[in-house]
Structure 1
Amino acid sequence: MQADKELDVRGMSCPLPILKTKKSLADMVSGQVLRIISTDVGSMGDIQAFSKQTGHELISAAQEGSEYTFFLRKK
Protein backbone atom coordinates (compact mmCIF):
# COMPACT_ATOMS: atom_id res chain seq x y z
CA MET A 1 0.00 0.00 0.00
CA GLN A 2 1.21 3.50 -0.83
CA ALA A 3 1.51 5.97 2.05
CA ASP A 4 1.84 9.74 1.85
CA LYS A 5 3.88 9.87 5.05
CA GLU A 6 5.69 7.36 7.26
CA LEU A 7 6.04 7.44 11.04
CA ASP A 8 8.65 5.22 12.69
CA VAL A 9 7.96 4.83 16.41
CA ARG A 10 9.94 1.61 16.92
CA GLY A 11 11.42 1.41 20.41
CA MET A 12 8.88 3.85 21.88
CA SER A 13 6.27 2.81 24.39
CA CYS A 14 2.82 4.11 25.25
CA PRO A 15 1.78 6.91 25.05
CA LEU A 16 4.46 8.13 22.60
CA PRO A 17 3.30 6.17 19.51
CA ILE A 18 -0.21 7.64 19.79
CA LEU A 19 1.04 11.16 20.53
CA LYS A 20 3.38 11.08 17.54
CA THR A 21 0.62 9.64 15.35
CA LYS A 22 -1.69 12.49 16.34
CA LYS A 23 1.02 15.06 15.58
CA SER A 24 1.83 13.49 12.20
CA LEU A 25 -1.82 13.45 11.17
CA ALA A 26 -2.17 17.13 12.10
CA ASP A 27 0.37 17.98 9.37
CA MET A 28 -1.55 16.03 6.71
CA VAL A 29 -4.61 16.83 4.60
CA SER A 30 -7.85 14.87 4.53
CA GLY A 31 -7.59 11.62 2.58
CA GLN A 32 -3.84 11.22 2.93
CA VAL A 33 -2.47 7.93 4.31
CA LEU A 34 -0.02 7.59 7.20
CA ARG A 35 2.06 4.42 7.63
CA ILE A 36 3.04 3.74 11.24
CA ILE A 37 5.69 1.22 12.26
CA SER A 38 5.80 0.28 15.96
CA THR A 39 7.32 -2.30 18.28
CA ASP A 40 5.05 -1.48 21.24
CA VAL A 41 2.92 -4.57 21.97
CA GLY A 42 0.07 -2.31 23.09
CA SER A 43 0.01 -0.39 19.82
CA MET A 44 -2.41 -2.81 18.14
CA GLY A 45 -5.17 -1.96 20.59
CA ASP A 46 -4.09 1.66 20.98
CA ILE A 47 -4.15 2.48 17.26
CA GLN A 48 -7.52 0.75 16.83
CA ALA A 49 -8.99 2.74 19.74
CA PHE A 50 -7.42 5.97 18.44
CA SER A 51 -9.00 5.36 15.03
CA LYS A 52 -12.47 4.81 16.53
CA GLN A 53 -12.21 7.86 18.79
CA THR A 54 -10.92 10.27 16.16
CA GLY A 55 -12.69 9.02 13.03
CA HIS A 56 -9.49 8.41 11.07
CA GLU A 57 -9.89 5.24 9.00
CA LEU A 58 -7.71 2.30 10.00
CA ILE A 59 -7.08 0.78 6.58
CA SER A 60 -4.91 -2.09 7.82
CA ALA A 61 -3.10 -3.40 10.85
CA ALA A 62 -0.51 -6.17 10.62
CA GLN A 63 2.11 -7.84 12.77
CA GLU A 64 5.33 -9.29 11.43
CA GLY A 65 7.59 -10.65 14.13
CA SER A 66 7.93 -7.95 16.78
CA GLU A 67 6.86 -5.11 14.46
CA TYR A 68 3.38 -3.74 13.90
CA THR A 69 2.47 -1.81 10.77
CA PHE A 70 -0.63 0.36 10.45
CA PHE A 71 -2.10 2.39 7.63
CA LEU A 72 -4.38 5.25 8.70
CA ARG A 73 -6.32 7.51 6.36
CA LYS A 74 -6.88 11.01 7.72
CA LYS A 75 -10.54 11.96 7.93
Structure 2
Amino acid sequence: LRFPDEAQTLYGSVGVQADFSYRSGAAIFIDGPHHDGLAQREEDQRKRAALEDLGLGVLAFRYDDDWSAIFKKWPGIFGAG
Protein backbone atom coordinates (compact mmCIF):
# COMPACT_ATOMS: atom_id res chain seq x y z
CA LEU A 1 0.00 0.00 0.00
CA ARG A 2 1.41 3.34 -1.05
CA PHE A 3 1.01 5.92 1.70
CA PRO A 4 -0.27 9.44 0.95
CA ASP A 5 2.24 12.13 0.06
CA GLU A 6 0.53 14.71 2.26
CA ALA A 7 -2.13 14.95 4.97
CA GLN A 8 -4.68 17.73 5.48
CA THR A 9 -3.94 19.12 2.03
CA LEU A 10 -5.40 22.60 1.52
CA TYR A 11 -6.33 23.55 -2.02
CA GLY A 12 -6.43 27.27 -1.36
CA SER A 13 -7.71 28.36 -4.74
CA VAL A 14 -11.05 26.66 -3.99
CA GLY A 15 -10.91 26.64 -0.18
CA VAL A 16 -11.12 22.87 0.16
CA GLN A 17 -9.07 20.67 2.47
CA ALA A 18 -8.70 17.00 1.62
CA ASP A 19 -7.77 14.50 4.30
CA PHE A 20 -4.91 13.14 2.19
CA SER A 21 -3.36 13.69 -1.22
CA TYR A 22 -1.07 11.97 -3.68
CA ARG A 23 1.30 13.66 -6.12
CA SER A 24 -0.41 11.66 -8.85
CA GLY A 25 -3.29 14.11 -8.54
CA ALA A 26 -5.63 12.31 -6.15
CA ALA A 27 -7.46 13.94 -3.26
CA ILE A 28 -8.72 11.52 -0.61
CA PHE A 29 -11.52 12.06 1.90
CA ILE A 30 -12.30 9.89 4.91
CA ASP A 31 -16.00 10.14 5.77
CA GLY A 32 -17.33 9.14 9.18
CA PRO A 33 -21.02 8.83 10.07
CA HIS A 34 -21.49 12.60 10.34
CA HIS A 35 -21.21 12.70 6.53
CA ASP A 36 -24.50 10.79 6.23
CA GLY A 37 -26.71 13.84 6.80
CA LEU A 38 -28.19 15.63 3.79
CA ALA A 39 -26.57 19.02 4.44
CA GLN A 40 -23.13 17.45 4.89
CA ARG A 41 -23.52 15.28 1.78
CA GLU A 42 -24.40 18.37 -0.27
CA GLU A 43 -21.40 20.26 1.13
CA ASP A 44 -19.12 17.29 0.43
CA GLN A 45 -20.37 17.14 -3.16
CA ARG A 46 -19.73 20.87 -3.66
CA LYS A 47 -16.18 20.60 -2.32
CA ARG A 48 -15.35 17.49 -4.32
CA ALA A 49 -16.73 18.97 -7.52
CA ALA A 50 -14.48 22.01 -7.00
CA LEU A 51 -11.44 19.73 -6.80
CA GLU A 52 -12.55 17.76 -9.86
CA ASP A 53 -12.84 21.09 -11.71
CA LEU A 54 -9.13 21.58 -10.92
CA GLY A 55 -8.44 18.28 -12.65
CA LEU A 56 -7.91 16.20 -9.52
CA GLY A 57 -9.17 12.69 -8.99
CA VAL A 58 -11.32 12.58 -5.88
CA LEU A 59 -11.97 9.46 -3.80
CA ALA A 60 -13.99 9.14 -0.61
CA PHE A 61 -13.66 6.31 1.87
CA ARG A 62 -16.80 5.94 3.96
CA TYR A 63 -16.67 4.37 7.38
CA ASP A 64 -18.81 1.50 6.12
CA ASP A 65 -17.00 0.87 2.80
CA ASP A 66 -14.78 -2.10 2.01
CA TRP A 67 -11.52 -0.17 1.99
CA SER A 68 -9.52 -3.10 0.65
CA ALA A 69 -11.73 -3.18 -2.43
CA ILE A 70 -11.15 0.53 -3.02
CA PHE A 71 -7.38 0.10 -2.71
CA LYS A 72 -7.47 -2.75 -5.24
CA LYS A 73 -9.63 -0.75 -7.67
CA TRP A 74 -7.09 2.09 -7.81
CA PRO A 75 -3.58 0.56 -8.10
CA GLY A 76 -2.31 3.67 -9.88
CA ILE A 77 -2.85 5.60 -6.66
CA PHE A 78 -2.36 3.05 -3.89
CA GLY A 79 0.00 0.57 -5.52
CA ALA A 80 -0.59 -2.98 -6.69
CA GLY A 81 -0.31 -4.73 -3.39
TM-score over 0.5 (shorter chain): no
TM-score under structure 1 length normalisation: 0.38
Larger CA Rg, structure 1 vs 2: 2
TM-score under structure 2 length normalisation: 0.36
Structure scoring higher RCO (CA < 8 A, sep ≥ 6) equals 1
